[in-house]
């Protein structure tokens, strides 16, 4: 086989792989096309009917109010939000990989399998169930006290801890809104949001081992090696059934 034939064969193989890579996405998009597309007001209406945005909003309002009343503004109050925003894509990636995609384990007689991991498996089984898109309300029973403890103990002054809590509230709402938005039938106009939506759908419908970012266009994925060329990655048989064994 000469070089020209080899290149043609390689291009044909790459085209076939790319076609397979798009099958699940195409099927879901076809379903979306048959449904009535949602507007942003529609999406916002369903967003505010979920409990978790209200819990996070309450944290944000309480923390921001307390921060204003506490006063004592310093340069570090501007530094904390910058650091958190820069770190958030990586925090999000770690939580998605290590917590949400946690594989149930047995330690002696105990089975270790958190509510978040169980709900996330249900979310992958049917990504269109709106209730499973949001953080389970039960999670806030321990998460909010934990955040308050961090704010009180990890910072040198109360005002800085309240700045931390306020920033966490903003980032939490951004996460919930973005995750909700990309799971609706809203067709975004922004190129960045379209990329976020495409990447998240690749995670759900092509291969669950890649594209873990939710609020950015693959920032952490690109750095941490989970942002491959979709055409080079096989379709996963467990994208909708996380951790289930596959046939040999």
Query: pLDDT band at residue 243, thresholds of 50, 70 and 90?
Result: confident
Q: What is the pLDDT of residue 12?
A: 57
Compute the distance between CA of residue 36 and CA of residue 159 in angstroms, rounded to an integer: 47
Q: Is the pLDDT of residue 25 over 80?
A: no
Helix (H) or strand (E) holding 110: strand 110-112
Q: What distance lies between CA 36 and its chain's CA centroid?
A: 25
**Coil, strand or helix: which one is 130?**
helix
Q: Is the pLDDT of residue 29 over 60?
A: no
Compute the distance between CA of residue 99 and CA of residue 48 in angstroms, rounded to an integer: 26
**Coil, strand or helix: which one is 56?**
helix
Compute the distance between CA of residue 33 and CA of residue 44 in angstroms, rounded to an integer: 20
pTM of the full structure: 0.83
Q: Is the pLDDT of residue 187 over 60?
A: yes
| pLDDT (average), residues 59-78 | 96
CA angle 88/105/108 to nearest 5° reads: 135
Mean pLDDT of the chain: 88
Q: Is the pLDDT of residue 35 over 80?
A: no
Angle at which helices 158-182 and 76-94 cross, to 10°: 40
Q: What is the pLDDT of residue 38?
A: 85
Query: pLDDT band at residue 204, thresholds of 50, 70 and 90?
Result: very high
Q: What is the pLDDT of residue 14?
A: 47
Residue 152 exposure: Cα atoms within 13 Å on the Cβ side: 6
pLDDT 10s digits, 97-132: 999 999 999 888 889 999 999 999 999 999 999 999
Task: Give the helix ranges, DSSP H, for the chain.
Answer: 3-21, 23-34, 40-47, 51-70, 76-94, 115-125, 140-153, 158-182, 191-205, 219-224
In sequence order, the 6+-apart residues with CB closer than 8 A to the CB of 155 are 161, 164
Full DSSP string of 14-28: HHHHHHHHTHHHHHH
Query: pLDDT band at residue 8, thresholds of 50, 70 and 90?
Result: low
Residue 120: both structure tokens together: 């996330």
Compute the distance between CA of residue 136 and CA of residue 120 in angstroms, rounded to an integer: 10
Q: What is the pLDDT of residue 248?
A: 45
Q: Is the pLDDT of residue 192 over 60?
A: yes
Q: Is the pLDDT of residue 11 over 80?
A: no
CA dihedral over 236, 239, 241, 244, signed as positive or negative: positive
CA angle 52/167/224 to nearest 5° reads: 85
DSSP state of 188: -
pLDDT 10s digits, 133-159: 999 999 999 999 999 999 999 998 999
């Amino acid at each position: 086989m000469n070089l020209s034939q080899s290149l043609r064969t390689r291009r044909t193989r790459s085209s076939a792989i790319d076609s397979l890579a798009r099958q699940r996405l195409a099927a879901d998009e076809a379903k979306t096309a048959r449904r009535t597309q949602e507007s942003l007001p529609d999406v916002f209406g369903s967003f505010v009917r979920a409990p978790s945005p209200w819990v996070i909003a309450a944290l944000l309002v309480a923390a921001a109010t307390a921060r204003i009343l506490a006063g004592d503004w310093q340069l570090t109050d501007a530094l904390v939000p910058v650091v958190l925003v820069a770190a958030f894509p990586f925090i999000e990636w770690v939580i998605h990989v290590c917590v949400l995609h946690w594989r149930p384990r047995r330690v002696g007689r105990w089975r270790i399998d958190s509510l978040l991991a169980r709900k996330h498996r249900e979310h992958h089984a049917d990504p269109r169930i709106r209730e499973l898109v949001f953080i389970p309300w039960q999670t806030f029973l321990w998460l909010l006290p934990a955040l308050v403890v961090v704010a009180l103990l990890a910072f040198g002054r109360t005002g800085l801890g309240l700045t931390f809590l306020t920033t966490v509230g903003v980032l939490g709402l951004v996460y919930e809104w973005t995750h909700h938005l990309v799971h609706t039938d809203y067709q975004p106009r922004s190129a960045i949001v379209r990329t976020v939506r495409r990447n998240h759908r690749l995670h759900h419908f092509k291969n669950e081992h890649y594209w873990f970012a939710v609020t950015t266009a693959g920032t952490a994925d690109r750095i941490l090696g989970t942002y491959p060329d979709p055409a080079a990655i096989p379709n996963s048989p467990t994208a909708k059934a996380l951790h289930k064994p596959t046939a040999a």
